Amino acid sequence: MADNLPAEFDVVVVGTGLPESIIAAACARSGQRVLHVDSRNYYGGNWASFSFSGLLSWIKENQEKSEISDECEDWRKLILENEEVISLNKKDKTIEHVEAFCFGDQDSAKDVEEAGALPKLPVFGASGAEGVAQDPNKECPPLDSAVARAESCEAEKAASVDTASTVEENDTEVNCENEGSPSVSSSESALDLGKAEAAPSEVSAQEPKKIMYSQIVREGRRFNIDLVSKLLYSRGLLIDLLIKSNVSRYAEFKNATRILAFREGKVEQVPCSRADVFNSRQLTMVEKRMLMKFLTFCLDYEQHPDEFQDYKNSTFAQFLRTRKLTPSLQHFILHSIAMVSETDCSTVEGLQATRKFLQCLGRYGNTPFLFPLYGQGEIPQCFCRMCAVFGGIYCLRHSVQCLVVDKESGRQISRAVLITDQSVLKTDSEQQVSILTVPPVDLGQPAVCVIELCSSTMTCMKDTYLVHLTCPSTKTAREDLEPVVQKLFHLNTEAEKETENEELDKPRVLWAVYFNMRDSSGIDRNSYSSLPSNVYVCSGPDSALGNDCAVKQAETIFQEMFPTEEFCPPPPNPEDIIYDEDELASEESGLSNSPETKPEPSPEESSSRGSTAVNEHSEE
């Protein structure tokens, strides 16, 4: 570690996953001296996003699972006689059963270099010892000057956006609160959903463009592939925290544009909002009235306890059968709106999930969900940046020799990431962000959540889609998810002949990876014995679609550490800062460089790139 670092810190945070990054930001904001370290050479841990070459390095690292040798024993000499150490296992056991498949000619990519790639940086004692080739914006530590990261990488990112020049023509403001209350809106020109979404596709009726593996390798930096697949509920805890803390100014978001359902072997769009329901051609007029009546009941179901009291001990699926709903409506509500298990979800839990979905509609679009541009891995980095702005110190590629040994957990998540050449449901617009729940074939098995991302989310190259599949594990990831992949996609290589017309309509998988990730969401300090009172444990990602678990855990740990401090308050308004005479003189002479007196980039200065900027302002 650098010799010029301070000798003492109030808080040391190990790992840069989402809950750890939120805690670090909250501690730094409350005035604590924070050291944030990670043994990896990238931010995010199991919440990270990778370029394609970075993901290949990550796959290689986790398939080899090499034990990292202790390069330096000098730290043991620093341990005093009255102290004891708890060694940290250097081998990452959270990822298992990693299997990657290419459905094209890999030989053609042997001599292909990634466009715009920089020379790999050396890795010092990192768990990612194979030198994960991250994007330059992933390598830059978020120090005080890191607010300029988006600006320094702007030229490269803007080149991949076709709609940037049309942003100013479609300014939109979204007010989500009642009149007279603070509203959440986009910045002036920050909520354009992009010309690509509105304009009909010119090639929708043509054959999909053939994408070769060599093209994926060459355009690898256009991919930002998440290890964990999640979306942000528009009224969820994470969006509220981003707005409250003003961390939202570091990120941009895109609306999920449609909710899909898989029924009777076909993918179809689910009507969610009132307008969608009445414009739907899938539903009869009677079904539309049934659906609207039930959804209206779900919004204030607690005011009508007599309608569900008798079914409290029943499953939500059994309750739906008593509501005079057609089978198709029951399927839509259970799997695409409530998104709950058919066998394990109680009536009250199903009603709560349905109400949450409905309450999130309309805040930023016609679906309840937002997705961060450049991937889920941007969110931990945003909180790291806030921590750095308020004095937090970051050290990547520095392993911690003594801490808490991770405890084994029996629960796992099955994950798959696919690169495909078409959407699972073709429409006039190619730029769709879709959520699909595939119900299990056998009762008792978990449903599979499918999230399909288009190129305008900055997560894949043009003419491809990035598809994430997630479910709680029952076997290996491939055994859990490959049956669903075979239902939705065409897996044959180009050399094999497609004999069935049905197969021709399916998107073709170009590349795929399967892996199991540990679900440690139930782990806390009570899961360990003899922990020191000042050591707290953060869990990894869970299998839920949202991020509420990570936010709740971060807030709980922060309040235990600092009961009298506010959790992630907004930064001070520059107009409200009172300067003493020395500071005023320094500012007038242009010599002041205090982080708190630096003007933050205004929302108007950032380009929206067809995205939703989440901000809050008070109406006067």
Residue 89, exposed/middle/buried by CB under 10 A (0-12, 13-18, 19+)? exposed
Q: In the prediction, which pLDDT does 145 show? A: 35
Are the C-beta atoms of 367 and 258 separated by less than 8 Å? Answer: yes
305 Cβ contact list (under 8 Å, min separation 6): none
Q: In the prediction, which pLDDT does 194 show? A: 39
Do 155 and 294 belong together in one domain?
A: no
Q: In the prediction, which pLDDT does 373 show? A: 95
DSSP per-residue codes, 497-541: ----HHHHTSPBEEEEEEEEEE--TT--GGGSSS--TT-------
CA distances from 380 to 25, 46, 250 (A): 10, 11, 11
For the record, the structure tokens of 557 come out as: 């740990």
Which tens digit of pLDDT belongs to each residue from 171-202? 333 333 333 333 333 333 333 333 334 444 44
Q: In the prediction, which pLDDT does 124 show? A: 41
Q: Is 222 inside any structural domain?
A: no
Torsional class of 119: left (φ above 0), alpha (ψ -120 to 50), beta (otherwise): beta
Q: In the prediction, which pLDDT does 112 show? A: 73
Q: At what angle do helices 548-561 and 237-245 cross, to 10 degrees?
A: 50
CA distances from 398 to 62, 125, 332, 377 (A): 19, 7, 48, 20
- Count of domains observed in the chain: 2
Q: How many residues does the chain have?
A: 620
Do 49 and 150 belong together in one domain?
A: yes
Residue 292: other Cβ atoms inside 10 A: 14
Domain of 318 in residue numbering reads as 269-366
Residue after which a domain boundary falls, among 332, 349, 366: 366
Q: In the prediction, which pLDDT does 140 show? A: 41
Do 61 and 154 belong together in one domain?
A: yes
Do 327 and 291 belong together in one domain?
A: yes
Beta-bridge partners for 448: 438
Residue after which a domain boundary falls, among 366, 392, 422: 366
Q: In the prediction, which pLDDT does 591 show? A: 40
Q: Is 484 inside any structural domain?
A: no
Are the C-beta atoms of 490 and 498 separated by less than 8 Å? Answer: yes
Q: In the prediction, which pLDDT does 89 show? A: 61
Q: In the prediction, which pLDDT does 196 show? A: 37
DSSP 216: H
Residues 218 and 228: their CA atoms lie apart, in Å, by 24
CA distances from 549 to 344, 482, 521, 541 (A): 19, 28, 7, 8
Residues 314 and 473: their CA atoms lie apart, in Å, by 25
Q: In the prediction, which pLDDT does 523 show? A: 74
Q: Is 387 inside any structural domain?
A: yes
Nearest to 476 by CA among 414, 567, 388: 414
Residues 516 and 134: their CA atoms lie apart, in Å, by 22
Do 362 and 379 belong together in one domain?
A: no
Nearest to 463 by CA among 212, 181, 106: 212
Residues 195 and 165: their CA atoms lie apart, in Å, by 9
Do 303 and 396 belong together in one domain?
A: no
Nearest to 449 by CA among 459, 440, 462: 440
Q: In the prediction, which pLDDT does 3 show? A: 61
Torsional class of 262: left (φ above 0), alpha (ψ -120 to 50), beta (otherwise): beta
Nearest to 378 by CA among 4, 36, 16, 118: 16
Residues 538 and 21: their CA atoms lie apart, in Å, by 10
Do 35 and 148 belong together in one domain?
A: yes
Q: Is 427 inside any structural domain?
A: no
For the record, the structure tokens of 55 come out as: 């993901």
Residue type, 332: F
Can you tell me whether residue 11 is helix, strand or coil? strand
Residues 564 and 105: their CA atoms lie apart, in Å, by 60
Do 56 and 145 belong together in one domain?
A: yes
The stretches of 308-425 forming alpha helices (DSSP H) are: 316-321, 327-331, 347-360, 378-389
Residue the block writes with tokens 């899961």: 527
Nearest to 296 by CA among 557, 304, 195, 109: 304
CB-facing half-sphere around the CA of 557: CA atoms within 13 A? 28
CA distances from 424 to 216, 258, 374, 439 (A): 20, 12, 21, 16
Q: Is 459 inside any structural domain?
A: no
Do 38 and 74 belong together in one domain?
A: yes
Do 48 and 70 belong together in one domain?
A: yes
Beta-bridge partners for 419: 466, 511
Q: Is 566 inside any structural domain?
A: yes
Residues 542 and 63: their CA atoms lie apart, in Å, by 22
Q: Is 360 inside any structural domain?
A: yes
- Give me the average pLDDT of each 10-residue run along the chain (620 residues): 73 93 95 91 93 94 69 60 60 86 77 67 42 40 36 40 35 36 36 39 56 90 95 95 94 93 89 80 88 92 90 92 91 92 91 94 90 95 94 84 49 93 87 92 85 95 94 92 93 57 76 92 72 84 91 93 92 66 51 40 44 50
Q: In the prediction, which pLDDT does 280 show? A: 82
Residues 230 and 382: their CA atoms lie apart, in Å, by 16
Do 13 and 47 belong together in one domain?
A: yes
Which H helix or E strand runs over 199? none
Residue the block writes with tokens 């288009």: 454
* CATH number of the domain to which 557 belongs: 3.50.50.60
Do 7 and 85 belong together in one domain?
A: yes
For the record, the structure tokens of 593 come out as: 């460089």
Residue after which a domain boundary falls, among 311, 337, 366: 366
Q: Is 316 inside any structural domain?
A: yes
The 3 state secondary structure assigned to 31-59 is CCCEEEEECCCCCCHHHCEECHHHHHHHH
Can you tell me whether residue 295 is helix, strand or coil? helix
Q: For the chain, report the end-to-end CA distance as a whole number of angstroms.
A: 50
* CATH number of the domain to which 302 belongs: 1.10.405.10
Q: In the prediction, which pLDDT does 71 show? A: 52
